[in-house]
């Protein structure tokens, strides 16, 4: 497999704020890669470095075998970008904006442009100022998806889209994947990521803290188990990898680390299992663990402070 995006040790500072702190990111060609993390974690900053809009302080970034800063123009013919907060020109219509961005990129697939406008139910003849938030977002999405490009870089593309449009968006991303395109998708919508993404990277305070397929990540984290046994189970506390054990009228409830699940189930069979439900952590639980850690760690104070400062300047 070839690599579409390869980032190692990326650092980007804005004055006092260290937005990226040695970030590593690896996206294979043809995969849909989810990019998750709390507000202010550095997702948009990473994406802007990948687009050559910001220059990194140190570290290496390779996009489609090129350097995003020096080869920007050549690379931009092969990729399309949707920002999280689309601003349109007040006196240009949505259709004009779609064409403008598409043509400047190197061309649009007319048939797909029509299809996208139809499926997303966008009126392309309205002036930019009169579009609602969701419709502004659609303009950028349509322009990006209608371009025949290898790489789609999407920064919270569907913020503000209604649920119906969300499913349309997901259809098109699947189609893009089937066509062999690579997608980097930053998102706060976990269901979307869960449905679309082959791989996920979780970023926190400018660093990628976890990266892999959802299955791998689940394996690395705890599974919740609820079990009812014929005889009262005992000795579970001593087993390795068991957490948050609770007993309630003959039922047991606990969480267990992925690699110790096997041993725990063996132990349980001795007491005669009557009913057993287990569920792997949802992405939400995975995320909350990471986001929650952040709050507990000393980082929270520092982070909030730096974010407050940046908030004033914007």
Partner 1 sequence: MTTSTAVSRGAEQGTPDRQNTLAGTGMLVRFMLRRDRIRIPVWMAVIVLLTLSVNGSWEETYGTAGELREIAQTLDSPAMIAMAGVNYAGVEATTYGALMGQQMFWSTLIAVGIMSILLLVRHTRAEEEANRAELVRANVVGRHAYLTAALTVVGIANLGIGLLMAVGLGAMGVPTIDWPGSWLYGAGHVVVGMAFAAVAAVTVQITEYSRGAAGMAFGVLGAAYALRAMGDVGENVLNWFSPLGWAQETRVYVEDRWWPLLFVVVAVVLAGVAYHLSTRRDVGSGLRASRAGTPVASRALVTPIGFAMRLHRGLMIGFGVAVALLGLAYGSVLGSAEQLVEDLDAYQDMLEGMAGSAIEAFGATILTIMALIASIYVVLAMQRPRGEETSGRAEPVLSTAASRTRWLGSHVAVAIGGSVVMLLAIAVAFGAAGAASVGEGELFGRLATGALAYVPALWLTIGVAVALLGWLPRAVVLTWVIPVYGIIVIYLGGLFQFPDWLNNLSPFGHVPQMPSDDFRLTPLLILTAVAAVLIALGLYGFRQRDLDVK
Ligand X SMILES: Nc1ncnc2c1ncn2[C@@H]1O[C@H](COP(=O)(O)OP(=O)(O)OP(=O)(O)O)[C@@H](O)[C@H]1O
Among 44, 158, 182, 187, binds Mg ion (CB under 5 A): 44
Stretch 70-109 residues interacting with ligand X (CB under 6 A): 84
Verify binding: residue 43, ligand X, rule CB under 6 A.
yes
**Smallest separation (angstroms) from ligand X to the CB of 83:** 10
Interatomic CA distance for residues 182 and 23, integer angstroms = 20
**Smallest separation (angstroms) from ligand X to the CB of 73:** 23
**Contact in structure between 254 and 223 (CB atoms under 8 Å):** no
DSSP 8-state symbol, 127: B
C-beta of 17 vs 143, nearer to ligand X: 17
Verify binding: residue 223, ligand X, rule CB under 6 A.
no
**Smallest separation (angstroms) from Mg ion to the CB of 36:** 11
Verify binding: residue 16, ligand X, rule CB under 6 A.
no
52-58-63-66 Cα dihedral, nearest 10 degrees: 90
| C-alpha Rg value of the chain to the nearest Å | 23
Tell me the window of 41-49, 138-146, 166-174, 214-222 that interacts with ligand X (CB under 6 A).
Answer: 41-49
Which of partner 1, Mg ion, ligand X, none does residue 130 bind to, with CB < 5 to 8 Å depending on kind? partner 1
C-beta of 45 vs 143, nearer to ligand X: 45
Which of Mg ion, ligand X, partner 1, none does residue 41 bind to, with CB < 5 to 8 Å depending on kind? ligand X
Tokens of 186: 């930053």
**Contact in structure between 119 and 170 (CB atoms under 8 Å):** no
* Helix or strand holding residue 76 (H, E): helix 72-76
Strands 182-186 and 151-155 come out as parallel
Binding mask 275-314 for ligand X (x = CB under 6 A): -------------------------------xx--x--x-
Interatomic CA distance for residues 128 and 149, integer angstroms = 25
Tell me the window of 32-40, 50-58, 184-192, 303-311 that interacts with partner 1 (CB under 8 A).
Answer: 50-58
**Contact in structure between 188 and 160 (CB atoms under 8 Å):** no
Stretch 20-39 residues interacting with ligand X (CB under 6 A): 37, 39
Kindly tell me the sign of the dihedral angle through the C-alpha atoms of 114, 160, 105, 128.
positive
Strands 273-279 and 222-229 come out as antiparallel
Interatomic CA distance for residues 157 and 120, integer angstroms = 13
Among 4, 7, 10, 17, binds ligand X (CB under 6 A): 17
Verify binding: residue 40, ligand X, rule CB under 6 A.
yes
Overall size of the chain counted in residues: 314
Instruction: Enumerate binding residues for partner 1 (CB under 8 A).
Output: 44, 48, 51, 53-55, 72-74, 76-77, 79-83, 85-96, 98-101, 103-106, 123-127, 129-130, 140, 314
């Amino acid at each position: 497999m070839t690599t579409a995006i390869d980032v190692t040790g990326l650092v980007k500072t804005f004055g006092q704020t260290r937005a990226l702190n040695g970030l590593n990111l690896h996206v294979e060609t043809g995969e849909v890669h989810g990019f998750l993390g709390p507000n202010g974690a550095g997702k948009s900053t990473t994406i802007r470095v990948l687009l050559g809009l910001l220059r990194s302080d140190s570290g290496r970034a390779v996009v489609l075998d090129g350097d995003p800063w020096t080869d920007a123009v050549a690379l931009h013919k092969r990729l399309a970008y949707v920002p999280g907060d689309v601003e349109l020109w007040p006196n240009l219509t949505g259709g004009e904006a779609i064409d403008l961005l598409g043509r400047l990129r190197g061309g649009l697939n007319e048939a797909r442009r029509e299809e996208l406008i139809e499926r997303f139910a966008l009126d392309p003849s309205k002036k930019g100022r009169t579009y609602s938030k969701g419709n502004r977002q659609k303009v950028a999405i349509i322009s990006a998806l209608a371009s025949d490009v290898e790489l789609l870089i999407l920064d919270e593309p569907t913020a503000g889209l209604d649920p119906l449009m969300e499913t349309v968006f997901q259809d098109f991303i699947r189609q893009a994947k089937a066509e062999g395109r690579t997608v980097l998708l930053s998102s706060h919508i976990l269901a979307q990521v869960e449905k679309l993404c082959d791989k996920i990277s979780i970023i926190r305070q400018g660093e990628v803290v976890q990266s892999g397929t959802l299955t791998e990540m689940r394996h690395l984290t705890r599974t919740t188990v609820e079990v009812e046994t014929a005889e009262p189970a005992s000795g579970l506390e001593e087993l390795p990898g068991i957490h948050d054990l609770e007993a309630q009228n003959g039922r047991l409830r606990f969480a267990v680390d992925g690699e110790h699940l096997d041993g725990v189930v063996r132990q349980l069979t001795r007491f005669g299992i009557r009913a057993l439900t287990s569920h792997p952590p949802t992405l939400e639980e995975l995320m909350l663990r990471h986001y929650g850690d952040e709050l507990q760690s000393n980082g929270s104070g520092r982070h909030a402070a730096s974010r407050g400062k940046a908030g004033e300047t914007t």
